[in-house]
Amino acid sequence: MEIFLNEKSIMVDEGSTAFSLREIFKKDADIVIYNGFIIKEDVLLKNQDRLTLIKRGEIPTMQELEGLMVSRHTPGVHEKIKNARVGIAGLGGLGSNVAVSLARIGIGYIKVIDFDVVEPSNLNRQQYFIKHIGMKKTDAINQLIAEINPFVKVETEDIFIDEKNIEGLFKSVDIIVEAFDNPNSKALLVNTVLKKMPSKIIVAASGMAGYFSNNRIVTRKVGDNFYLIGDGESEARPGCGLMAPRVAIAANHQANTVLRIIMGERDV
């Protein structure tokens, strides 16, 4: 029967078990992952099962790395993720967090668009470090993704998004993440996509400021191709700033919505 060992197809005898293969292929493996789950007890393998053997602290080759990174995915997920094409409009608190989450799951192609530079005040909630201050956000996020998952193809556009360039900028992606700070820019992007780009899906956010309840941030399906994340109320203003916890919650609602769409789950 066929199984996938560290994401490579091999043929094994009926009756083979996870631990018996560890003895054959990697006796010193500390971690055994069976179909995305770390096991402590032996299991009988079935056709098409996925088994990953990892030794703690061992640095894999580049050829092995991607397989080891995706080993925690549910079987069948990675193939769809690898073929996905996602665009992110804005690389602030929302966009930088979405980009990192999508890179970690191995999205095949991410197009990131922003015209700004990293500033000290960004560090309270955005996925940048002191070394990135003064860098273009597109360059900084590209560098971060390369250090997280070098198998993701990243295209950058250092440009201000307006009504004249939206269609051209996002023609190469299937799903668009709206991640602007400016409400006018948010409305412009969403309305342009819905009116002029009916084949695209847009995942937007509104209302994630302050330290209000986590549970007020929800995902709503507003239309067939439009999802909106947030509490819809808590906008940044004097006395109610943007901080990492709630911004990251909203951003990861967006990232998980993108993943669900890729996997064919169109409800919320």
Span 180-215, pLDDT tens digits: 999 999 999 999 999 999 999 999 999 999 999 999
CA dist 214 to 99, 233, 244, 248, Å?
Answer: 21, 13, 12, 11
Burial of 131 (0-12, 13-18, 19+ CB in 10 A): exposed
pLDDT above 90: residue 235: no
Tokens linked to 247: 């911004």
Write down the pLDDT at residue 122.
Answer: 97
Give the mean pLDDT of 216-230.
Answer: 97
Cβ pair 71, 49 in contact under 8 A: no
Percentage of the chain exceeding pLDDT 70? 100
pLDDT value of position 229: 98
Instruction: Compute the CA torsion angle 13, 17, 22, 25 (nearest 10 deg).
Output: 10
pLDDT of residue 62: 87
Instruction: Report the mean per-residue pLDDT for the chain.
Output: 96
Cα separation of 142 and 133, whole Å? 14
Distance CA 128, CA 135 (A): 10
Write down the domain spans for the chain: 2-72, 78-262
Mean pLDDT of 29-43: 96
User: Is pLDDT larger for residue 74 or for residue 251?
Assistant: 251
What is the pTM (predicted TM-score) of this model?
0.93
Q: How far apart are CA 171 and CA 164, in angstroms?
A: 13
Architecture of the domain whose range is 78-262: 3-Layer(aba) Sandwich (3.40)
Q: Report pLDDT digits (tens) over 74-114.
A: 878 999 999 999 999 999 999 999 999 999 999 999 999 99
* Architecture label for domain 2-72: Roll (3.10)
DSSP state of 232: S
